[in-house]
Structure 1
Amino acid sequence: MQATHLLSVGAELGEGPVWIDGALWFVDIKGRRIYRQVPITGALDQWDAPEFIGWILPATKGDLIAGLQSGPHRFSPESGIFTRIAEIDPDLPANRLNDAAIHPSGRLYFGTMDNDEAMASGRVFLLDGGAVRATGIDPCVITNGPAIAPAGDRLYHVDTLARRVSIHPIDAVGNVGAGATFLHFTGDEGHPDGAICDAEGGVWIAFYGGGAARRYDTDGHMTDEIIFPVSNVTKVALGGSDGRTAYATTARQGLSADALAAQPLAGDVFTFPVKIPGMPVTRANS
């Protein structure tokens, strides 16, 4: 299946699409910008962020939570104000937050990475009730996902440069156990990037440099492949009125002048239909 072009934004590093209350939210990490697109009206709203921003997610205590470079912040769309919840890695100024997911309990798991993509300083953290603690997942250069299974008992962690997806158990209080390899890519698929789970526990993975998004069942078998007219696909969200519309962000980052000329839609948002719906996004408990 071919993805369909939806929005022209030309993001340097589009990421973090999520369906919240009838609207598609996403960010441009390197452009330091938050977007909200309302399909029913066609409106596309934008806010500038004070730092690199990896994601935007809903919260139970009002407003949204934004993954800024220095740590998670509360964000008010009405005022445009960001208020820090916690500081992450103050001793690693090149690090930034990269991707995140909310557990059915409201716990928010997020990862960090070296913005220079060189040091294995990326870790996965847990934000729970306003407090942050590190998980036991091994550090890597670029963390992606995590994706959370519908039952909340499994977490999928993407080590992008190692091209490996690991699966970890989650206990009743949010602790993450030792991982086992779920998928390991060694061909020309590209690098696994953002990941999410659908209502049946299938895992959608975007492939940076691979020009595709692919779904894998719980046994790791590919069930669906969506081809894009751009090479850098970063993450998929499932939304729409019935949860069966997929939205995907892409990136211009790293493309040569010739590649950009050949891919004029790089950095835009795309869409495609899916058979298995996504899960409604739980609000973070912080």
Structure 2
Amino acid sequence: MAIVPEPVVFPSTSLGEGPVWDAARQRLWFVDIKLRRLFRFDPASSTLDQWDAPGEIGWALPAEDGRLLCGLQDGLHWFDPARGEFAFWQAIEIDMPSNRLNDACTDRDGAVWFGSMDNGCVAATGSFYRLSGERARRAGPGPFAITNGPAITPDGGTIYFTDTGARQIWAATVGADGLPEALRPFVRFTESMGFPDGSITDAAGNVWVGCYAGWAARCFDPAGEEIAKVDFPTANITKLAFGGADLATLYATSAHQDMTEADRAAQPLAGALFAFRPEVGGHPLPLVRAS
């Protein structure tokens, strides 16, 4: 039987992105990059809280101390959910004002992997970074116009990087120092598949990828073979995140940016947050090790 994703909340995000499960609060965080909003969804009550961010916000990751580390266009900010306040922490690529931060994950050491990208999605100015403690250093392939991922396997041994514009996902081994080595091609999308957007791994080490302009989410095994495809009623599926107490629900953000009025009429659920239950569940994501 085909899996049918269901819309669970509809904030009508222009560019919905960055879903991540907060196990301590049993909530899902996600963002709207272009409308500069941070959302918190409670599946138990179907309620949605939101805050205005001080810039285009690509992601928000729960930290050990209860705050969230957020990637904005001008760099890294801390968000305090209790006060609903953002606090600037450090600049990234201060010499590249046309770039912004786009996607992120944590590794087993509590370090944060994130990417930058050209906000116009054209120039190859985006890089990947690993933030450990207070130091962010470039690490991984590039430069690319649009970086996505990274995503890390449950054992922490493999990391995946996405060059969205080239439709290419790369894999690398994580070395003893936490940095990538032995970079190799993993999956290349065809034009009919759309563009590989955000990715996440499941408990078996498979990789789920949102397909922008592809009307689907796809799952690939560690050898790069497609093993599942879930069709959506809207074209732009951006990123996925496992959630729920059992980490068995897969949430997916979507986008309606750049759609015509006719597109919006034909895709009334564009910008919704969707959910479905795949055969394999997720794994706990490490918290950011707060500085």
Q: TM-score range by the shorter chain?
A: over 0.9
Deviation at 1:257, TM superposition (A): 1.4
Deviation at 1:178, TM superposition (A): 4.3
1:97 is matched with which residue: 94, 101, 120? 101
CA deviation vs aligned residue, 1:145-195 (integer Å, no higher than 9, x gap): 000011111110010010000001111222122411000122400000000
Deviation at 1:280, TM superposition (A): 1.1
Aligned to 2:6: 4
C-alpha distance in 2 between matches for 1:278 and 1:173: 26
C-alpha distance in 1 between matches for 2:80 and 2:130: 22
Aligned to 1:19: 21
**Is 1:243 aligned to residue 243 of structure 2?**
no
Contact in 1 for aligned 2:140/2:161 (Cα 8 Å): no
Deviation at 1:84, TM superposition (A): 2.5
Partner SS state of residue 5, structure 1: strand
Partner SS state of residue 258, structure 1: helix
Partner SS state of residue 50, structure 2: strand
C-alpha distance in 2 between matches for 1:105 and 1:275: 28
Partner SS state of residue 85, structure 1: strand
Partner SS state of residue 260, structure 1: helix
5+ unaligned residues in a row in structure 1: which ranges? none
C-alpha distance in 1 between matches for 2:284 and 2:196: 24
**Is 1:264 aligned to residue 282 of structure 2?**
no
Counterpart of 1:109, as a letter, is: W
Partner SS state of residue 91, structure 2: coil
Aligned to 1:47: 51
C-alpha distance in 1 between matches for 2:199 and 2:155: 16
Aligned to 2:111: 107
Deviation at 1:82, TM superposition (A): 1.7
Partner SS state of residue 12, structure 1: coil
1:277 is matched with which residue: 273, 278, 281? 281
C-alpha distance in 2 between matches for 1:78 and 1:17: 20
Contact in 1 for aligned 2:218/2:229 (Cα 8 Å): yes
C-alpha distance in 2 between matches for 1:174 and 1:107: 9
**Is 1:171 aligned to residue 171 of structure 2?**
no
Aligned to 2:230: 226
1:159 is matched with which residue: 157, 160, 163? 163
5+ unaligned residues in a row in structure 2: which ranges? none
C-alpha distance in 1 between matches for 2:264 and 2:182: 41
Partner SS state of residue 283, structure 1: coil
**Is 1:61 aligned to residue 93 of structure 2?**
no
Contact in 2 for aligned 1:86/1:131 (Cα 8 Å): no
C-alpha distance in 1 between matches for 2:120 and 2:160: 24
Cα 1:145–1:280 change in 2 (3 A) is same
Counterpart of 2:256, as a letter, is: R
TM-score in terms of structure 2 length: 0.96
C-alpha distance in 2 between matches for 1:136 and 1:43: 38
**Identity of aligned pairs, percent?**
44
CA deviation vs aligned residue, 1:235-262 (integer Å, no higher than 9, x gap): 0111112111010000001211111110
| Residue correspondences, number | 286
Contact in 2 for aligned 1:28/1:53 (Cα 8 Å): yes
C-alpha distance in 2 between matches for 1:237 and 1:18: 6
**Is 1:116 aligned to residue 107 of structure 2?**
no
C-alpha distance in 2 between matches for 1:142 and 1:106: 24
Structure 1 outlier segments of 4+, above 3 Å: none
Moved more, 129-138 or 194-203: 129-138
Q: What is the alpha-carbon root mean square deviation over aligned residues?
A: 1.1
C-alpha distance in 1 between matches for 2:189 and 2:256: 23
Counterpart of 1:114, as a letter, is: D
